[in-house]
Amino acid sequence: MPDLAAGGAWTRVRLRWRKDPLTGASARILTGEKLQPPGRPDLTALAAPPAFCPFDSDRLETATFPFPAELTAEGRIRQGRAVVVPNIMAYATHSAVGIYDPARHFLDLDELTPALVGDALTAMIRHAQAVRRLDPAALWSSVNANYLPPSGASLVHPHLQSAHDDCGLAGQRVLVERAGSWRERHGPYWPALVDQEAGGPRWVGRTGRVSWLTPFAPGGFHEVWGVVDEAADVTDLTEADCQALGQGLSQVLAAYRDWNLASFNFGLIGGGPQAREHGHQVVLKVVSRSNPEPMYRSDATYFERLYGEAMIDLSPEEIADGARPRF
């Protein structure tokens, strides 16, 4: 490549190409110029409370709805400051929205404390367990988040979402299927990965029974994983697990804040109906997204960024109907 510092002289530069041993997905790790921002944008205007936000405490009771009694007698599920309510968007057969703190319209990355994140995850897992009791066919479960418009979030008020159905998400199914194939050839994948990475250059740390590491072939910027021991599905997670995940995720987000980052996606990925058979372990994946400067909403959410599954608002047939008259 031309070296700008040397007047355009052609220079050989190292490029690392890596292939994930489980899924086969590949990544290219660059040398030289980094995409990490030198500074953070001023988020004052973006974070200012709007005239209406359904997740704010003064609107929550009238703008959201309780769960049906057959799902939970709680109506709205509460844990600490967190509140979980039904999702008004049909992303899955069953879906919920969790609000970390209705009293805080905006929380910066370092304000998403272990307690706030842990309590929100605990409440979301209580909802997941209630769904599983009500609808045993909804065996694919995940808990996910978009944070700020560059991550695909349509609302600034920090929140997380869940999906429970009999389909699963593309990347979720791949993880489980490949873990099963790996197990047949080599034994359980996730314990072997944790054992290999522990104390090495990609090891981050441990909270409770959650091992934190960075993937060999990342699928996104600043990607970090948390692998939960002895939990094949999100419904296996205990309150202690949720608090441990909250502690670790909060610490990762605080690091993002130190690195001048401002937006992220995460996915907490359950293993579906064959989770135990295939040796899946619940894994949390978090990636950073572009900073909101200029302020815009990305058309890629956690669905596309973490699971490789498109979320489309118009059917192919509707698009064809609209384009056909032009031909």
Query: What are the sequence ranges of the domains in the chain?
Result: 52-311
Q: What mean pLDDT is predicted for residues 150-175? A: 96
| Percentage of the chain lying above the pLDDT 70 cut | 98
Bridge partners for 320 per DSSP: none
Nearest to 223, CA basis, from 143, 150, 284: 284
Mean pLDDT over residues 266-270, rounded?
A: 97
Question: Which pLDDT tens digit goes with each residue over 192-226?
Answer: 999 999 999 999 999 999 999 999 999 988 899 99
**Which range is least confidently modeled, 133-137, 234-238, 253-257?**
253-257
| Mean pLDDT score across all residues of the chain | 93
Tell me: the pLDDT tens digits for 69-92?
Answer: 999 999 999 999 999 999 999 899
Q: 327 falls in which pLDDT band (50, 70, 90)?
A: confident
What confidence tier does 106 reach under pLDDT thresholds 50, 70, 90? very high
Question: Is the per-residue pLDDT at 311 higher than 80?
Answer: no
- 52-311: what CATH class? alpha beta
Q: Lowest-pLDDT range, 32-36, 113-117, 322-326?
A: 32-36
pLDDT value of residue 61: 96
The per-residue pLDDT for 206 is 95
Of the pLDDT bands very low, low, confident and very high (cuts 50, 70, 90), residue 309 is: confident
pLDDT band at 32 (very low <50, low <70, confident <90, very high): low
pLDDT for position 30:
81
Give the model's pLDDT for residue 34: 65
pLDDT computed for residue 322 by the predictor:
85
Q: Which of 278-282, 301-305, 307-311 has the highest mean pLDDT?
A: 278-282
Q: Give the pLDDT band (50/70/90) at residue 318.
A: confident
